[in-house]
Chains A and B, each alone.
Chain A
C-alpha cells in the first residue's frame, strides 16, 4: 500500500515475521523504521493514518539491536595502533568487515603507543609517512561503508608497569604534572575519544578520573594492581568500567578482592552502575570465572572482543608487523610456541559462547553486546535497544544466534550469502 503521511515523506519499512528484543524480552512484534530510526506504529496509525511502504519478511528471525564492541585493537591484518600509510582506510576496512559479526558501532582501541601515534611530533627521522593515528579518525555514523565509530578507546599509557601485559614498557606514563595536563600532553586532543583505560593506583589519578568523566569520557580501570579501596575511590570520582575483567589485574583475594571486588562493592554511588568487559572466547577467561562474574553482577556484563590484528584471518601462519602468529581454531599463538598473543574471536562468537557457558537467556546474551555497552557509553537513548526513536541499527539472527543480516539506520548493510 502506498504511504500516506503528513509528518514525513520518508519511506516506512515494516519488518514482519520476526521476534524483536524489547523490554528485556523477545516479543513477537513487527518492527517499524523510518528516517533511520525505530518508529512507533501506533502513533503512525492514529496520528498520521500512515502505513508501511515496504515489508521485509524476516522468516522468523530474531531482531536484536546492532552490537557494540568497545574494545577491538584491529583485525584482518590491520593493527589500529600501528600507524600506516592510510590509517583511515585501515579502520574503514575493519569497520566494514565487522558488519558480518553484527557489529554496527565500535570503539577502535589504541594500546600504549609512542607519542607520535597520538599527536603530531617533530620528526627526528624522515618517516615514510605521518605516524599519526588518533587525530585522523573522527567519530562518525555507520552505514554501508561499515560500522560507526563511537570514538577511540585509549588503553594506556597511564597503566601499571606490573600489569602491562603486551604493552610496550618504554611508553608507559604516570601523572607527573599532577593530572589532566599529562593526559592532554600524551593524547593531544580528546575530541574523538570515547574511553580511557588507566590504573587508579597511579598518584594523582583521582583528579584525572574526575576531569575525564566531566568531559563525558568513560573512564575504565585496567592493567592495574589497585586494591579494592583504590578502585572504589576511582569509581566515586567517576570511573564506570573495568577493562577485560580478571586479565591484567590482581586476582580476586578474599581479604582484598581488588578491582574484581567492584562487582559486588557497596561503595558504588547510588544510581550508578559499574560495568565490566568480558572476553568470552572460552580461552581468555575460564567459563567458571565467567559464570562467577555473571552471577555476581549480571546487569554490568559487557562483551568485548579485544580482538587483535589476526582476527578474521584464516588458520595458519601470518606475519603481522614484527610478529609471526599461528592461528589454530580460536587460538592465536606466537608461532612455534603455546603463548597466546591475543583474542581472535568475533563478537557474535563471544555472544554464543557466553550464552552456552553461563546458561543465560537469549535476551541476556544479546543485551550484553548491545544494551549494556550503550548504557556504559551513555548513548542508550539512541543505541543498544529497539525503543521508539532509537537508531535503527539491527542484527537479524537465527535461533543459534548466528548473524544472517545487519542493518544500519534501517538500511541493509550486510546479508549472509546462501
Chain B
C-alpha cells in the first residue's frame, strides 16, 4: 500500500549532494558576504534535499555573533517565499546550565529572537538542550537519542571560539566526546562577559554541549569563522595538526567540511593557503550559484 507523497519524485540531484569527500575553505571579502554565502549554501542544501513529512532535513545550529548575519539572510529567504522550514528539524549545539530559559542571554532566547520567531518551523522540531532540568546527564543522553531518531544530522553548522573550541568543547576535550555537561574555560567566560554586562560573576560556568564526536557524526559540517580575533584559532584548526587543545581541528578528519570565513579571519594563515583556496572560489561558488527556490518546484 503506497501513499502518494511529495517525496515520491526522486531526483538524481539528491543522490549527488553528499558523496564527494572534501575540505573547502571558502573566503569572502567581509562578514556580510560570508553570511550570505553560508545562508545560500544552507538554502540550496535544504531545497535540493526536497524534505517532506516522511523525510525531514536535520540541521545543527550554533549561536553567537558570528552566525547572526547568516540567520538574517535565511529569514529574508523565508520572507521572500524562497525557502520553508516546515520540514526541517533543528538541533542546537549547546545551552547554559542554570540560566533561566527566559533570560535574554539564554540560547533559547537567542534562537527564538534571531531565528525561530521569524520562520515557519514547527516548534516540536526545534530542539535545544535544557540546562534547567534536574538530571543533566539524562538530558544529554536523551538529546543524543533524539538526534539518532531523527536519522542523524544532515548538515551541522557551527562556529569557533577564540580558543579553537567547537560548541563548548573546550581545549582538552575528548575528540570523540558525546553530548555532556562541561565546565567552561576562563577564556570562554571572559569572551561571554560582554553579554552579561561585563560582570564575570554573572556569566554561567557550566553548559550542556554536543560533543566533538556528535558533530563528527553529521553528514556534513560547515564552520563559520569571521573576524580577526578568530584568526589564530583558524590557523590552529587547519594549518596545524589534529589536537584536542584546538577541538575544531578534529574536522580535518571529517569526510565533508566547509569553513566559511571573511578576510580578517585568514590573517594568521599562510599566504600560500589563502591564495590556494581563493583560487578555488569559482568552484566553491558553483555550490551557491544558481541559488534554488521552492517557488521553482
- Find chain A residues with CB under 8 A from B126 CB: 45
Binds A, one of B116-124, B138-146, B254-262: B116-124
Instruction: Say which residue of A1, A4, A46 sits within 8 Å of B112 (CB atoms).
Output: A46
Interchain CB contact under 8 A, B117 and A45: yes
B109 at the interface (CB under 8 A from A): yes
Q: With A42-B112, A45-B112 as given contacts, are A51 and B102 in contact (CB-CB < 8 Å)?
A: no
Q: Shortest CB–CB separation between residue B141 and chain A, in angstroms?
A: 20
Contact B123 A45 (CB under 8 A): yes
C-alpha spacing A49/B128, complex, angstroms: 13
Give the residues in chain A near B112, CB-CB below 8 Å.
41-42, 45-46
* Total inter-chain residue pairs, C-beta < 8 Å: 32
Pick from A43, A44, A49: contact of B102, CB under 8 Å: A43
A30: CB under 8 A from chain B? yes
The digit string for B124-163, where 1 denotes a CB below 8 A from any CB of A, is 1010100000000000000000000000000000000000
A45, B115: Cα distance in complex, Å: 12
- Taking a contact as CB atoms under 8 Å apart, the answer to whether B109 and A49 are in contact is no
Inter-subunit contact A42/B109 (CB<8 Å) = yes
Q: B113 — nearest CB in chain A belongs to which residue?
A: A42
Of residues A1, A45, A51, which shows the largest number of chain B Cβ atoms within 10 Å of its Cβ? A45
Is the C-beta of B101 less than 8 angstroms from some C-beta in chain A? yes
- Decide if B124 touches A46 in the complex (CB within 8 Å): no
Return chain B residues, CB-CB under 8 Å to A49: 122-124
Which A residues are CB-close (under 8 A) to B102?
42-43
- Indicate if the CB atoms of A46 and B108 lie closer than 8 Å: yes
Interface residues of A in 88-134 (CB under 8 A from B): none
A48 proximity list for chain B (CB < 8 A) = 123
CB distance from B167 to the nearest CB of A (A): 20
Within 8 A of A (CB), among B78-110: 101-102, 108-109
Per-residue interface assignment for chain A, residues 53 to 96, with 1 indicating a CB less than 8 Å from any chain B CB and 0 otherwise: 00000000000000000000000000000000000000000000
* B contact residues around A46 at 8 Å (CB): 101, 108, 112, 123, 128
Tell me the complex Cα distance, A255–B57, Å.
76
Q: How far is the CA of A304 from the CA of B101 in the complex (A)?
A: 41
Is A148 part of the contact surface with B, judged by Cβ < 8 Å?
Answer: no
B17 to chain A, nearest CB (A): 28
Question: Which residues 56-73 of B have a CB within 8 angstroms of A?
Answer: none
Taking CB as reference atom, which chain B residue is nearest A45?
B123
A151 within 8 A of B: no
Chain A residues, Cβ within 8 Å of B117: 30, 41-42, 45
Distance between A100 CB and nearest chain B CB, rounded to angstroms: 33
Q: Which of A14-53 contact B (CB under 8 A)?
A: 30, 41-46, 48-51
Q: With A and B bound together, what is the CA distance between A41 and B109 in angstroms?
A: 11
Kindly provide the distance from the CB of A153 to the nearest chain B CB, expressed in whole angstroms. Answer: 38
Which residue of the partner chain A has the closest CB to B108? A46
Q: Which residue of A lies closest to B125 (CB)?
A: A49
Establish whether residues B108 and A4, one from each chain, have CB atoms under 8 Å apart when the complex forms.
Answer: no
Instruction: Say whether B109 contacts A51, CB under 8 Å.
Output: no
B123 and A50 contacting across the interface, CB-CB below 8 Å: yes
Residues of B within 8 A of A1 (CB): 120, 122
Contact flags A220-263 to B (C-beta < 8 A → 1, else 0): 00000000000000000000000000000000000000000000
Residues from chain B with a CB closer than 8 A to the CB of A45 are 112, 116-117, 123, 126
Complex Cα distance, B117 from A30, in Å, reads 9
Most buried by B among A41, A42, A43, A48: A42
Binding site for B on A (CB under 8 A): 1, 4, 30, 41-46, 48-51
7 A-B pairs with least C-beta separation: A49-B123, A49-B124, A45-B123, A42-B112, A46-B108, A51-B123, A45-B112
Residues of B within 8 A of A (CB): 101-102, 108-109, 112-113, 116-117, 120, 122-124, 126, 128
A-B contact pairs, 26 of them (CB 8 A): A1-B120, A1-B122, A4-B123, A4-B124, A30-B117, A41-B112, A41-B117, A42-B102, A42-B108, A42-B113, A43-B102, A44-B123, A45-B116, A45-B117, A45-B123, A45-B126, A46-B101, A46-B108, A46-B123, A46-B128, A48-B123, A49-B122, A49-B123, A49-B124, A50-B123, A51-B123
**Given A42-B108, A45-B123, list of 16 further CB < 8 A pairs?**
A1-B120, A42-B109, A42-B112, A42-B113, A42-B117, A43-B102, A44-B123, A45-B116, A45-B117, A46-B101, A46-B123, A48-B123, A49-B122, A50-B123, A51-B122, A51-B123
